[in-house]
Amino acid sequence: MLASNGYTDTSMGGGTKLSRLQHHGCAGMLTDGRLRDFDELATYDFASYCSGEATKWGGMR
């Protein structure tokens, strides 16, 4: 679970960051923010729930 702390339009992560969940066998990802790299996330063996898709990195927030 990742909290956006009120920045719900901000990207919380993408394929590279969330590959760690795949590597450790996690069951899912839940965030009130956005995620990137939906095509890559679809290949992972866990469920992802978010508020929408982001197209750029959210690290400036």
Nearest-angstrom CA–CA distance, 20 and 41:
12
Predicted TM-score (pTM) of the model is 0.83
Measured CA to CA in angstroms, residue 29 lies from 14, 21, 58 at distances of: 11, 8, 17
For residues 43 and 21, the answer to whether their CB atoms sit within 8 Å is: no
DSSP class of residue 13? E
| Per-residue model confidence as pLDDT tens digits over 2-60 | 999 999 998 999 999 999 999 999 999 999 999 999 999 999 999 999 999 998 766 66
pLDDT of res. 5: 93
pLDDT of res. 58: 63
pLDDT of res. 55: 82
Mention every residue, 6+ apart, whose C-beta is less than 8 A from residue 44.
Answer: 18, 19, 21, 22
